[in-house]
Amino acid sequence: MGVLKNLKGIAKVAMTTILALPLIPGLVNAEGTSTDFGYTGGYQQWTAPQTGRYQLEVWGAQGGGSDNCGNPYQGAAGRGGSAQGEVYLNAGETLYIYVGGQGGCSSNGLAQGGWNGGGSAYASQPEEPGGGGGGATDIRRINGSWDDYSSLNSRIIVAGGGGGGGEDTGDQYGDGGGLEGSNGWYPANQFSAGDGGGFGFGGSTGYGDGGGGGGGWYGGGATYNDQIGWDSQGGGGGSAYLGGVTNGSTQTGVNSGNGYARIAYIGDTNATLTSISVNQRSVYLPVNNQNQIIVTAHYSDGSSRDITGIAAFKSSNTYVVSTGSNGWLTGLNPGQSDVSITYKEKISTGKTLTVTSRVKVTVGY
């Protein structure tokens, strides 16, 4: 992927009149009210009933271990982490909530990883048990299967899942993050997964006894082995992510059992959209490579927010470069193309602010 450069591009605001949007069915939040989301084994959809600031809170799931599966030979499981932050939403914007499941346990055979990225484990016998990693809990702008790349890449906040318990009591285990998983041999961080893990998923032990890695922004690791009976220790904790929210914070190892999430309306704002900026004004992109354009909206009160997932991208030469979801550009053939970025935001007067910017893209070999 191309390297992102910290250059700013500022665009002016144009104002047009549009018809009022229809009333959105469902919950109408008053300030301070909230909607909770428990574990379902699938994603849940939520639509903002009104424009304003919302607080997002997520808690990752615990791994499978002695403290929740009851095998006296097994090590303790890592607990899930938590993350919270604020996001400004327009009425009608939709978010998708992925609540992680607790890692499974086994005294003979496969121990399933918790839904949403928990790594699996294995048990060769009751005295050598296996514990799956806990799933992460996250909120996204694009739906799809939990491991769909476009969906994973649209996550705006993530709480890491805990690693599964080891095959022996006293084995070290990994708590979910936190910006980094902790207390384990194979923790994930903001830039990389633990051993065997990846973007959004924890590592598996294969046929080795022990614990799988927790899911997360990046997943916690585990020692993989294709031979039954190999000792793997406890799994690493997954990492959290705060890149799509403001005023964010995380905690490590605070949640037992399945994950959960909460969205709360915390107030309106009188701030007006003034401009947008992009992280790159010009991009060199090799053929068959990708690069992401990050778009930030700026407001009259000095605040800002990431709008990459809801801005519109259009290539002036689709033979040279294509545009995908969440600001991703793909180089197709050598040449040049302008990519225009458009963002529209409705305000209380019934008008829509339309803001545009442009990025110059050069594709080569």
The burial of 67, by beta-carbon neighbours within 10 Å (0-12 exposed, 13-18 middle, 19 or more buried), is given as middle
What is the reported pLDDT for 24?
Answer: 25
Verdict on whether the full-model pTM lies above 0.75: no
| 223-226: long-range pairs with CB below 8 Å, 24+ | 223/185, 223/186, 223/195, 223/196, 224/195, 224/196
Region for 26 from its dihedrals, namely left if φ exceeds 0, alpha if ψ lies in -120 to 50, beta otherwise:
left
pLDDT for res 22: 26
**Residue 1: what pLDDT?**
33
**pLDDT at residue 347 in the model:** 63
Per-residue confidence (pLDDT) for residue 7, from 0 to 100: 27
Q: Which two tokens stand for residue 323?
A: 């545009």
pLDDT in the model for residue 88: 85
| Domains delineated in the chain | 13-17+270-364 (2.60.40.1080), 31-268 (no CATH)
3-state SS class at 231:
strand
Pairing label, strands 105-106, 273-278: unpaired
pLDDT at residue 350, as a whole number: 58
CA–CA separation, 57 and 257 (whole Å) = 16
- pLDDT at position 157 is 96
- Residue reference for tokens 């406890």: 234
Residue 157: name the closest of 209, 213, 98 by CA: 98
Report pLDDT digits (tens) over 196-234: 999 999 999 988 888 899 999 999 999 888 888 777 788
Token pair listed for 156: 């705006």
Q: Which of helix, strand or coil describes residue 266?
A: strand
Q: What is the distance between the alpha carbons of residues 43 and 263, in angstroms, rounded to a whole number?
A: 15
Provide the pLDDT for residue 269: 63
For the chain, count helices (H), then strands (E). 2, 25
pLDDT in tens, 80-102: 999 999 888 888 999 999 999 99
Q: How many CB atoms lie within 10 A of CB 69?
A: 23
CA pair distance 328, 95, nearest whole angstrom: 19
Identify the segments of the chain with pLDDT beneath 50.
Answer: 1-32
